[in-house]
């Protein structure tokens, strides 16, 4: 217990506050799908599931990088005593522009998207657009709140979003609604209401300050978006690879889905650490506190390693039995398969932590190169000879391991070997990013 308390105390400030909101939002997301599954036909539930999956992958891939860049920029300005108002205004313009392009493409391709994804239901295409709008502006405001250190408001937005999803889903079910559109709109209504409730906590602390150049705001977004999309693909590639390479293995697809839910629990928990970690690293780098920067990075790696050990050990020992008990999954995966999945989760989280440091050091292209290397390793192992189950589980570990190793090498070259001495005039020397 004392070790757990010491580890928790080592985490960046605000982690525990965000953790409560993260847990509630995550639980609400699964409950939302569970209630919808009991209320809808199989065909309608398939549409809701596809919409949820697209928002969680494409939506995160496009707009979570906006949050990360805003966190980095605002945290650095806070250290320098500069207001975040100009950053917030330009970020809102940027988000609106990205949404305009995305929604415009969806409008042009509405019929094709409906036929491809939703069995011809164009209402679900509109609901998907609404969910993108909510996702985009929530991530924008969270980026500013994290940069300002307003983690209470950050966690409140997450918690309100989760609570509203639960209330709406259960309310729709009790009202006897059997509409895929109604359950899909929860992904628009809940986050927008949570956003409105916490908007003052974003706007009021965003004080006037020097203008921010567009180049500072957007120069890293392209590589960061590509990196995030590759990262999202990496954690879902096992299931998709089986579906593409051996579509007849329905039993393996079902078992992998259940196994990944179990093995990826630490990835879900990591969301509570990510925002405060990026803010803390950005503040340390902007202030030139090299030793603090490296110490925080080491503690974060230790935290995710401990988390993976706590969750991964029982998953490896009891995984085949647990997925059958909890999800009625077919008995086609071994303890060795679960070992590869849990090791892959550990390496993935280490890559996520190290990637935060690369973002702070403005090494966006280097981070993208690392994710590309990891994706190449994943593809190579997946396409190698051997049983498909062994290949996809081993690839799940090989891809993130390659990515994390490349990031370690990149960071060793990007950060000073020894802490810099404080300048005589007490002006902080920032970490070098080249």
Distance of alpha carbon 416 from alpha carbon 409, whole angstroms: 13
Which pTM does this prediction carry? 0.69
Burial letters for 207-222: b for 16+ Cβ neighbours within 10 Å, e otherwise?
A: eebeebeeebbeebbe
Taking the alpha carbons of 176, 179, 180, 185 in that order, is the dihedral positive or negative?
A: negative
169-211 pLDDT, tens digit per residue, is: 999 999 888 888 999 999 999 999 999 998 888 887 777 777 7
Answer yes or no: is 5 within a domain: no
CB of 304 closer than 8 Å to CB of 360: no
Answer yes or no: is 2 within a domain: no
Model confidence at 349, in pLDDT bands (50, 70, 90)?
very high
Average confidence (pLDDT) over 50-66: 81
Write the DSSP assignment of 268-319 as a string of letters: HHHHHHHHHHHHHHHHHHHTT-HHHHHHHHHHHHHHHHHHHHHHHHHHHHHH
pLDDT of residue 151: 81
Do 101 and 71 reside in the same domain of the chain? yes
Question: How many helices and strands, by DSSP H and E, does the chain display?
Answer: 18, 0
Burial letters for 79-90: b for 16+ Cβ neighbours within 10 Å, e otherwise?
A: beebbbbbbbeb
Answer yes or no: is 8 within a domain: no
Answer yes or no: is 259 within a domain: yes
**What total of structural domains would you count in the chain?**
2
Do 102 and 249 reside in the same domain of the chain? no
Answer yes or no: is 328 within a domain: yes
- Token pair 């030793």: residue: 291
Do 209 and 330 reside in the same domain of the chain? no
pLDDT of residue 3: 45
Answer yes or no: is 416 within a domain: yes
Distance of alpha carbon 160 from alpha carbon 201, whole angstroms: 14
pLDDT of residue 25: 83
Percent share of the chain, pLDDT over 90: 24
Do 279 and 393 reside in the same domain of the chain? yes
pLDDT of residue 119: 77
Answer yes or no: is 4 within a domain: no
98-150 pLDDT, tens digit per residue, is: 999 999 999 999 899 888 778 788 899 999 999 999 999 999 998 888 888 88
Which are the contacts of 36, defined by CB distance < 8 A and separation ≥ 6?
45, 48, 169, 183
Measuring CA to CA, how many Å separate 420 from each of 295, 412, 425?
14, 15, 14
Please report, in angstroms and rounded to a whole number, the separation of the first and last CA atoms in the chain: 42
Last residue of a domain, one of 185, 218, 251: 218
Do 155 and 226 reside in the same domain of the chain? no
Do 311 and 377 reside in the same domain of the chain? yes
Stronger pLDDT, 410 or 224, i.e. the higher one: 410
Last residue of a domain, one of 218, 233, 262: 218
CB of 119 closer than 8 Å to CB of 135: no
Do 237 and 208 reside in the same domain of the chain? no
Model confidence at 434, in pLDDT bands (50, 70, 90)?
very low
Measuring CA to CA, how many Å separate 64 from each of 67, 195, 227, 232?
5, 15, 11, 11
Answer yes or no: is 398 within a domain: yes
Do 209 and 292 reside in the same domain of the chain? no
Assess whether pLDDT exceeds 50 at residue 423: no
Do 171 and 301 reside in the same domain of the chain? no
Do 204 and 226 reside in the same domain of the chain? no
Question: Within a 10 A sphere around the Cβ of 271, how many other Cβ atoms?
Answer: 17
Task: Kindly state the DSSP code that residue 55 receives in the 8-state scheme.
Answer: I
Do 292 and 434 reside in the same domain of the chain? yes
| Range of the structural domain that residue 47 is part of | 13-218
Assess whether pLDDT exceeds 70 at residue 433: no
CB of 330 closer than 8 Å to CB of 383: no
Nearest partner of 110 among 127, 124, 122, judged by Cα: 122
Distance of alpha carbon 354 from alpha carbon 337, whole angstroms: 26
229-274 pLDDT, tens digit per residue, is: 888 788 777 877 776 787 777 677 667 766 777 787 787 777 666 6
Last residue of a domain, one of 166, 184, 218: 218
Do 367 and 414 reside in the same domain of the chain? yes
């Amino acid at each position: 217990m004392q070790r757990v308390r010491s580890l928790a105390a080592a985490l960046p400030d605000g982690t525990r506050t965000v953790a409560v909101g993260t847990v509630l939002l995550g639980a609400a997301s699964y409950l939302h799908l569970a209630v919808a599954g009991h209320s809808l036909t199989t065909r309608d539930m398939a549409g809701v599931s596809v919409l949820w999956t697209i928002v969680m992958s494409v939506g995160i891939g496009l707009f979570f990088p906006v949050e990360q860049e805003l966190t980095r920029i605002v945290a650095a300005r806070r250290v320098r005593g500069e207001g975040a108002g100009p950053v917030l205004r330009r970020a809102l313009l940027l988000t609106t522009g990205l949404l305009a392009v995305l929604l415009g493409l969806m409008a042009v391709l509405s019929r094709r998207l409906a036929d491809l994804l939703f069995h011809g239901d164009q209402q679900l295409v509109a609901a998907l657009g609404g969910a993108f709008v909510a996702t985009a502006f929530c991530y924008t405001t969270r980026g500013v709140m994290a940069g300002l250190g307003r983690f209470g408001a950050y966690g409140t937005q997450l918690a309100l979003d989760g609570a509203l999803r639960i209330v709406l889903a259960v309310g729709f079910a009790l009202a006897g609604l059997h509409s895929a559109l109604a359950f899909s709109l929860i992904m628009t209504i809940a986050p927008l209401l949570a956003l409105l409730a916490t908007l003052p906590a974003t706007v009021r602390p965003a004080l006037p300050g020097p203008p921010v150049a567009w180049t500072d705001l957007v120069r890293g977004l392209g590589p960061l978006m590509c990196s995030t999309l590759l990262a999202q693909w990496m954690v879902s590639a096992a299931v998709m690879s089986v579906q593409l390479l051996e579509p007849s293995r329905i039993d393996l697809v079902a078992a992998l889905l259940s196994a990944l839910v179990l093995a990826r629990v630490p990835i879900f928990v990591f969301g509570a650490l990510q925002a405060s970690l990026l803010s803390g690293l950005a503040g340390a780098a902007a202030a030139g506190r090299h030793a603090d920067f490296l110490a925080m990075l080491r503690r974060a790696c230790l935290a995710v390693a401990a988390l993976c050990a706590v969750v991964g050990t029982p998953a490896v020992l009891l995984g085949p039995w647990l997925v059958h008990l909890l999800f009625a999954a077919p008995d086609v995966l071994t303890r060795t398969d679960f070992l590869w999945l849990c090791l892959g989760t550990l390496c993935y989280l280490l890559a996520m932590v190290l990637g935060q440091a690369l973002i702070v050091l403005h090494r966006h292209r280097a981070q993208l190169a690392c994710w590309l290397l990891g994706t190449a390793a994943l593809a190579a192992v997946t396409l190698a000879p051997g049983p498909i189950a062994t290949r996809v589980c081993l690839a799940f570990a090989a891809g993130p391991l390659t990515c994390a190793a490349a990031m370690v090498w990149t960071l060793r070259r990007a950060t000073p070997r020894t802490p810099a001495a404080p300048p005589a005039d007490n002006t902080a020397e920032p970490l070098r990013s080249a």
